[in-house]
Homo-oligomer: A and B are copies of this chain.
Amino acid sequence: MSTIDFDGWTCPMPLRDYPQIVLGHGGGGKLSGDLVEHLFLPAFHNPALAALADGAALPLEGTGLRLAFSTDSYVVRPLFFPGGSIADLAVNGTVNDLAMLGARPLYLSAGMIVEEGLSIGVLGALVERMAAAARAANVQIVTGDTKVVDRGHGDGIYINTSGIGIIPDGVNIAPQNARPGDAVLVSGTIGDHGMAIMSVREGLEFETEIQSDSAPLNGMVAALLAVTPEIHVLRDPTRGGMASSLNEIARSAQVGIDLEDRLLPVRPEVAAACELLGMDPLFVANEGKLIAIVPPQHADAILEAMRQHPFGANAARIGTVVEQHPGMVVSKTGIGGTRVVSMQIGEQLPRIC
């Protein structure tokens, strides 16, 4: 067998603090960012990847077209939860990553890693849910692959989806486009998905069951772009929640972001669950919400278009992009002070998506 010189492989400092992968490396926070910055980017370096968006915007030679291309693997536990399943997440998540580039999603792939022993009935139910989610999002699942791993070496099923879309002419949406003065909007209540998973795992009972918000956002994005193509940034705050997404944007664009706690839309049952578990909704995953950063003169019209959309009834303006404290997100608290909304280091809740 050929020998690999693992010790000869060198790696910049931040990763050496962790000689082995920990759960937090998949959490969408600082550790995930370190892996991308210090391991994937140097190895795979190219402009599309370096943009650090939810997907890649790719010029298609000789056509003037730009493709959007994105991939995500889903490892959520449990496979079924209130408001959705791993199958819904797998379709909606990749549709949303494409939509966050302003693209119209067209085609998805489905790569299944199935654990030996999974019931064919469960697999069938998941496949039908994927098909239904694809119909709802108006995309086609056109290619696939199934691998089976030995019993004990999976978790029922892991699903990867990759997706292709077309970015319309004149649309230029990217994290580094945030500008001081821009309005920060969110399309609805935050923290629903993460707390739905958490409440199932912890066996919490509330008067109202917390449902995941898993939903395809391409329809809403099309509606927003119909208001104006001048949208600067779109982002779906999944793993790592609003805090991670906003910090990444602030860092990419070298701007500050000012929020106000009282403006954040949070369902009462989610707020209650967060309080019980000592969590902050800003750090909890969403699977059917988007952040839009838009020029101030378009903010009202875009907010109105969000609210008109079935998935945007609770949309709100939550803050402003500022010149001060570049790379940093701060929020005004209820008692009039301010707090720094930092990026979390690792994972608040493993296996959330």
Interface residues of A (CB under 8 A from B): 1-2, 4, 6-7, 9, 11, 15-16, 18-27, 32, 35-36, 39-40, 43-44, 46, 48-49, 55-56, 58, 60, 63, 65, 67, 69-75, 78, 80-83, 85, 106-107, 109-125, 127-128, 130-131, 134, 140-150, 152-155, 158, 160, 162, 164, 166, 200, 347, 350-351
Q: A131 — which chain B residues lie within 8 A by C-beta?
A: 43-44
Query: In the complex the two chains form, what is the Cα distance from A275 to B63 in whole Å?
Result: 53
Which residue in chain B gives the minimum CB-CB distance to A35? B146
Query: In the complex the two chains form, what is the Cα distance from A119 to B25 in whole Å?
Result: 12
Q: Contact at A1–B143, with CB atoms within 8 Å?
A: no
Shortest CB distance A300–B (Å): 34
Query: In the complex the two chains form, what is the Cα distance from A1 to B31 in whole Å?
Result: 32
Show 28 residue pairs from A and B whose CB-CB distance is below 8 angstroms, ordered by the A residue.
A1-B80, A1-B200, A6-B122, A6-B125, A9-B124, A9-B125, A19-B121, A21-B119, A21-B120, A21-B123, A21-B148, A24-B148, A39-B127, A40-B110, A43-B127, A43-B131, A44-B142, A44-B144, A49-B144, A56-B107, A60-B63, A60-B65, A60-B166, A71-B109, A71-B110, A71-B143, A71-B144, A153-B153
Q: Contact at A111–B72, with CB atoms within 8 Å?
A: yes
Shortest CB distance A348–B (Å): 14
Q: Which 5 pairs across A and B sit closest by C-beta, in order of nearness? A: A26-B148, A162-B162, A71-B109, A6-B121, A56-B142
Query: In the complex the two chains form, what is the Cα distance from A20 to B118 in whole Å?
Result: 5
Q: A119 — which chain B residues lie within 8 A by C-beta?
A: 6, 19-21
Q: A48 — which chain B residues lie within 8 A by C-beta?
A: 107, 140, 142-143
Query: In the complex the two chains form, what is the Cα distance from A39 to B1 in whole Å?
Result: 39
Q: Contact at B21–A116, with CB atoms within 8 Å?
A: yes
Q: Contact at B9–A128, with CB atoms within 8 Å?
A: yes
Q: Contact at B21–A160, with CB atoms within 8 Å?
A: no
Q: Contact at A25–B148, with CB atoms within 8 Å?
A: yes
Which residue in chain B gives the minimum CB-CB distance to A144? B40
Query: In the complex the two chains form, what is the Cα distance from A124 to B142 in whole Å?
Result: 32
Q: Contact at B148–A114, with CB atoms within 8 Å?
A: no
Q: Contact at B130–A73, with CB atoms within 8 Å?
A: no
A115 with B162, Cβ < 8 A, contacts A11-B124, A44-B144 known: no
Q: Which of B1, B46, B55, B78 is A82 in contact with, Cβ under 8 Å?
A: B1
